[in-house]
């Protein structure tokens, strides 16, 4: 795995170099800068590195988004990370309650895959009929509250993701949620 990480770092460096060279105003400078920096890479990538090992490194890195590594988020025993943005009032919902929420769901890279805000109306559902990360996270809130949840894949859609949908296998998710009411 160390070799795969080194390859990933090298590929990342190459991408940065080409990006910086592309920003240069001189065509010759772009080519010279990129070539010069690439020539300074000490070792070529080992032949035994596989695409699977590289994919694993990139997947691990993607999971380390700003939310995932932000120490201002509280962490539950299950691994759910959350931050209360606005405290609510009243009773927190139980898993058997129906709740009405406004929310936006994103992948860790910021790609939005669902949003009640975009549809222009909140959503109501039984709390025990959604992914475990939502069931757990919403029970930490009170009506009128707003929070951000960083939901690890095992509390989301797990190894299957949403087949044919926007959420891949073992994909962590980020939700901004407003708990409007508990019914």
Q: Which active-site residues does the annotation give?
A: 103, 113-114, 131, 157, 175
Contacts of 92 (CB under 8 A, 6+ apart): 139, 140, 141, 142, 182
* E strand intervals along the chain: 74-75, 81-86, 98-106, 112-115, 123-126, 146-151, 173-182
* E strand intervals along 17-172: 74-75, 81-86, 98-106, 112-115, 123-126, 146-151
Paired with 151 in beta bridges are 173
**Residue 105 CA neighbour count, 13 Å, CB half:** 16
């Amino acid at each position: 795995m160390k070799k795969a990480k080194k390859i990933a770092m090298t590929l990342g460096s190459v991408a940065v170099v080409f990006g910086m060279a592309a920003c240069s105003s001189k065509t010759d400078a772009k080519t010279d800068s990129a070539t010069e920096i690439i020539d300074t890479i000490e070792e070529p990538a080992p032949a035994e590195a596989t695409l699977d090992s590289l994919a694993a490194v990139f997947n691990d890195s993607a999971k380390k988004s700003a939310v995932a590594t932000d120490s201002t988020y509280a962490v539950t025993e299950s691994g759910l990370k959350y931050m209360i943005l606005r405290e609510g009032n009243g009773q927190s919902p139980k898993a058997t309650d129906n709740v009405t929420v406004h929310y936006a769901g994103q992948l860790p890279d910021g790609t939005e895959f669902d949003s009640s805000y975009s549809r222009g109306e909140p959503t109501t559902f039984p709390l025990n009929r959604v992914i475990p990360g939502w069931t757990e996270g919403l029970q930490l809130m009170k009506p009128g509250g707003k929070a951000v949840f960083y939901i690890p894949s095992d509390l989301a859609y797990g190894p299957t993701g949403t087949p044919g949908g926007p959420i891949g296998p073992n994909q962590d998710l980020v939700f901004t949620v407003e708990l409007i009411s508990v019914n």
